[in-house]
Amino acid sequence: MEGSRTRLTGKQLVVLIVTFLLINLVMAVQFPPNAHAATVNVVNGIQFTDTNGNVVHAHGGGMIKVGNYYYWVGENRDGTNLVSLYRSTDLKNWEFRAHLLSKGMGGELATANIERPKILYNSATGKYVMWMHKENGVDYSEGRVAVASASNIEGPYTYHGSFRPLGYESRDLTVFNDNGTAYLISATKGSGTNSDLNIYRLTPDFLNVEALVQTLWPGQYREAPAVFKRGNVYFMITSGATGWDPNQAKYATATSIEGTWSQPVNLGDSTTYGSQPAYVIPVVGSQTTSYLYLGDRWAGAWGEPVNNSRYVWLPLSFPTYNTLELNWYPSIDIDTQTGVITGNSSGGLFDPTKHYIIRGVQSNRVLDVDGQSTENGANVQLWDYWGGNNQKWRIESVGNYYRFVNVGSGKVLDVAGYSSADGGNVIQYEWNGGTNQQWSLVFAGGNNRWRIVNRHSGKSLDANSTGNGANVQQYFWWGGDNQKWEIIQVN
């Protein structure tokens, strides 16, 4: 009934509106929209691309968190730039920010090679200080460190020059900030090049070396150090000294960075999943702190330039407070908001339960088993796609490589006779686990373009012409479209 309605006074209306706004404010604080970003998946053993689609060049690099951003700094061997910087909030989507050092800066940088750049923040001076391994660009005879600094993480950086710390040769290096006291750890010459590992304490401004703290493991040839602290324990991961070729990583522990370090023990497999340690970044979140191993899979191992190298990122696990494990996963899931990082055994570039065609960029024809054969040794060729199972492949992870399984025959892509030669023929063969049946995938620019590289030979899948029946072989990578492939899911 109309006469029964109650009217609110002006004061009552104001109180009601204020109460409504306060309730919504409390709800927004307790349950903010998009409170944490979705978990992202990072694939292992490939090149990464930035938000503009360009290959990320942060080789031998390190990370530092500034505000909400993880900054990734690393070496760039494009012939002009030396050190590049990227940033991300989720550790997957990387935005290029700056080239921090380039040959165009002149002086000794004009001809330099810069390796393994790492950045420290000095809270006393307000400066970001970058330490690097510097060589002359011709050979590895210099064995020097180089130092640069800036007031902003993104630069510009002032280059302060290079030197041998306290007169010692210095090559693969890292730096570590231990609650305001910083340290340089670098491979040095003892009984041989890189035979020893020195720990130096830096000056309070982080721009120079103050003292040699100790020499670790003389004559054991440990390099590529990566240092982090968990609880009250310091961990150091190192590789052996085998040039570009991957080898068994090891780790050691200590209760003080200047104290007694344990003897190194094995970590991961015999090649530590085809990578060399670069850095370990703690990812601190609302639920936990995870420790992420950052490794480089150097292209020099198969005779290619550094900028063709790839990345291997894996979560570290701790069976006890002072022991360490590292397991292989084709990909990892990262949630930087919660700090949770987990290995993903079913992840990777491609779904192993799906079928794919592998189409040549130059020919627009696909990999095809000749005559729909199911026999060992049947030739692999190019042919127009017509939908046969002899033209479809499953792409399955094999450790840190892939095998290509033909749907029609169940046999795998194989380089005949374990050949390492240019022109080595590509066939199908029953799986036997040989390295000539294992392949890695390298981003080749453009949209969905890949190089398919044989593990045994380091050579790339290559078509010798464009017509139906053109032979498929392996060949040294030179960048032709006949060596680039599109991988397309068909069912």
One-letter amino acid of 141:
S
The reply to whether 281 and 309 lie within a common domain is yes
Which of 157, 130, 163, 125 lies closest to 144 in space, CA to CA?
A: 163
The reply to whether 362 and 338 lie within a common domain is no
20: in domain: no
pLDDT at 98: 98
Question: C-alpha dihedral over 262, 268, 272, 276, to 10 degrees?
Answer: -40
- Residue pair 348/104 in contact (Cβ under 8 Å)? The answer is no
Burial (CB count within 10 angstroms: exposed 0-12, middle 13-18, buried 19+), residue 16: exposed
pLDDT at 30: 39
248: in domain: yes
416: in domain: yes
The reply to whether 242 and 376 lie within a common domain is no
DSSP one-letter code for 46 = B
Question: Euclidean distance between the first and final Cα of the chain, in Å?
Answer: 66
The reply to whether 287 and 363 lie within a common domain is no
The reply to whether 235 and 383 lie within a common domain is no
pLDDT at 45: 86
11: in domain: no
pLDDT at 68: 96
Cα gap 211→232, rounded to integer Å: 23
pLDDT at 78: 95
The reply to whether 362 and 393 lie within a common domain is yes
pLDDT at 11: 53
The reply to whether 385 and 245 lie within a common domain is no
pLDDT at 25: 42
The reply to whether 298 and 432 lie within a common domain is no
The reply to whether 340 and 363 lie within a common domain is no
> Of 313, 344, 375, which residue sits at a domain end?
344
Q: What is the CATH number of the domain that holds 307?
A: 2.115.10.20
How many domains does one find in the chain?
2
The reply to whether 323 and 363 lie within a common domain is no
Please, where are the H alpha helices in 359-440?
A: none
DSSP string, 262-330: PPPEEESSTTTTT-EEEEEEEEE-SS-EEEEEEEEE-GGGGT--GGG-EEEEEEEE-SSTT--EE---S
- Residue pair 333/339 in contact (Cβ under 8 Å)? The answer is no
- The model's pLDDT over 242-266, given as tens digits with 9 standing for 90+, comes to 999 999 999 999 999 999 999 999 9
Range of the domain at 409: 356-489
> Of 290, 322, 344, which residue sits at a domain end?
344
179: in domain: yes
- The model's pLDDT over 354-387, given as tens digits with 9 standing for 90+, comes to 999 999 999 999 999 999 999 999 999 999 999 9
46: in domain: yes
pLDDT at 13: 46
> Of 344, 364, 390, which residue sits at a domain end?
344
- Residue pair 339/292 in contact (Cβ under 8 Å)? The answer is no
> For the chain, which residues score pLDDT lower than 70?
1-37, 347, 446
pLDDT at 483: 97
Q: What is the CATH number of the domain that holds 411?
A: 2.80.10.50
350: in domain: no
The reply to whether 82 and 189 lie within a common domain is yes
The reply to whether 79 and 181 lie within a common domain is yes
375: in domain: yes
The alpha-carbon radius of gyration of the chain (Å, integer) is: 27
